[in-house]
Amino acid sequence: MSRKPTGTLFYRICKRTFDIVFSAFCTALLAIPIAGVCAAICAESPGRPIYAQERVGRGGRAIRVLKLRSMVTDANDVHKYLNPEQLNQWEVERKVDNDPRITKVGQFIRKCSIDEMPQFLNVLKGDLSVIGPRPITREELEQHFSDEEKEELLSVTPGITGLWQATDRNAATFESGLRQQIELRYVRNRCFRMDWKCFVGTFGAMFGNSKTGR
């Protein structure tokens, strides 16, 4: 049986306070490095270095999540770049193994997991939390979650990182059903201890011996 989530006012206040303080610190610290990465992105592939993806936020409202551009500017034209097998994978997972649309700079920022650094601005705005379920598209929500699961998932603010990124990540997909299980496990058991596990586990996934990249 799942343990009752820590949804107390004290927990929510502490979580939001951490989100603001940590994100403000990271935004200030990373401003110059991110500017350098943006310049490198534009030098290799002209176009805006930062873009916004529409995702589903808390309560089901649409949010626009910021990312450093790691692909060519016309990456949305999937039929131009992906073969039939890759297109099938794209339809299910919204990601592709050995994606030909990823630039050389993009490969670097994905390997180092820094493409999502602009999302600290989303946290300051309140659209995201530092820790939470990964923000997903409306299509992913409708395709892979039951009505009851949707209500659970949308009851919390999505995060830059979370239990999925800190554990199985690429090994847990929507198609296998493991991705949904992990995201809902966080929602049902969220607490200070769970958030700390996700926070520490993310650094292990990014820089440890078992780092996953994407």
| Mean pLDDT, contiguous 10-residue spans, the chain (214 residues) | 62 96 96 95 94 96 96 90 90 84 93 90 97 94 95 96 83 85 94 93 68 49
Residue 4 within any structural domain of the chain: no
Number of domains in the chain: 1
In a domain, 120, yes or no: yes
213 within some domain: no
Answer yes or no: is 99 within a domain. yes
Tell me if 1 is assigned to some domain: no
pLDDT at 133: 95
Q: What is the pLDDT of residue 45?
A: 92
- Whether residue 78 is contained in a domain is answered as yes
| Model pLDDT, residue 140 | 92
Domain membership of residue 3 (yes or no) is: no
Distance CA 177, CA 202 (A): 21
CB of 158 closer than 8 Å to CB of 115: no
| Stated pTM of the model | 0.84
CA separation for the pair 148, 207 (Å, rounded) = 36
Give the model's pLDDT for residue 2. 45
pLDDT at site 172: 80
- Write out the residue range of the structural domain in which residue 115 sits: 9-207
178-206 confidence digits (pLDDT tens)? 999 999 999 999 999 999 999 998 877 66
> Would you state the pLDDT for residue 97?
86
Q: Is 150 domain-assigned?
A: yes
